């Protein structure tokens, strides 16, 4: 089984002629790029994961410009566009109480507030307004919007999520 990764950014384009990468941070702490010395570049379409050494990182507006060993030209950098910048799960930053990483939900049981079993979280789909949690159970799949009006409780220790689905959501 492949090691679990925590995504901290996405390569959006090459920057300049010397192989720098423009990265859109997908972390609440983009300054951490300046302290990371090694990462995994993850091509999710092919599930290819390659370890790389980060030689430099600096902020530029909302983006981070990253240099990695072996990436020396605009062409090298262009070939990496679309890859995710990730770290091993063990290097994830600790979160405040009550907060969690989306990947920590995978495998959690999902129940309605009256105790009805819906299924288990099998994935997360990123949405413009909110994430959708993919819940598989009873021969079907449900997309549960990750909003406080619906998600009442997340208990990672018990591997349980309690939801209050609006009428019709579980019939879709």
For the chain, which residues make up each domain, given as ranges?
Answer: 5-91, 102-171
Does the reported pTM lie above 0.85?
A: no
| Length of the chain as a residue count | 172
Q: How many Å from the N-terminal Cα to the C-terminal Cα in the chain?
A: 33
* Mean pLDDT within 60-81: 96
Q: Give the torsion sign (CA, 43, 63, 32, 65).
A: positive
Query: What percentage of residues in the chain have a pLDDT greater than 70?
Result: 99
- Whether 4 shows a pLDDT value over 70: the answer reads yes
For residue 76, give the H/E element and its range. helix 74-78
Q: What is the C-alpha to C-alpha distance for residues 88 and 113, in angstroms, rounded to an integer?
A: 34
- pLDDT tens, position by position, 99-128: 777 778 889 999 999 999 999 999 888 777
Q: Give the pLDDT of residue 157.
A: 86
For position 12, what pLDDT does the model report? 97
CATH superfamily of 102-171: PRC-barrel domain (2.30.30.240)
What confidence category does residue 59 fall into, taking pLDDT thresholds of 50, 70 and 90? very high
Computed over every residue of the chain, the mean pLDDT equals 90
Tell me, what's the pLDDT at 90? 83
pLDDT at 2: 63
Provide the phi-psi class of 91: left if phi over 0, else alpha when psi is between -120 and 50, else beta: alpha
Report the CATH number of the 5-91 domain.
2.40.30.60
CB 143 within 8 A of CB 136: no
What is the average per-residue pLDDT within 128-142? 89
């Amino acid at each position: 089984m492949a090691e679990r990764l925590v995504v901290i950014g996405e390569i959006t384009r090459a920057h300049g002629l010397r192989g720098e990468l423009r990265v859109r941070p997908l972390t609440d702490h983009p300054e951490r790029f300046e302290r990371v010395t090694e990462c995994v570049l993850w091509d999710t379409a092919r599930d290819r994961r390659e370890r790389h050494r980060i030689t430099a990182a600096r902020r530029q507006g909302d983006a981070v410009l990253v240099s990695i060993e072996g990436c020396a030209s605009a062409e090298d950098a262009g070939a990496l566009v679309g890859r995710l910048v990730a770290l091993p799960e063990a290097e994830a930053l600790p979160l405040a109480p009550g907060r969690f990483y989306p990947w920590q939900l995978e495998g959690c049981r999902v129940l309605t507030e009256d105790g009805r079993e819906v299924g288990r979280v099998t994935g997360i789909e990123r949405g413009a307004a909110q994430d959708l949690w993919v819940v598989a159970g009873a021969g079907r799949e449900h997309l549960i919007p990750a909003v406080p009006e619906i998600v009442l409780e997340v208990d990672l220790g018990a591997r349980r999520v309690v939801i209050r689905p609006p009428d019709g959501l579980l019939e879709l």
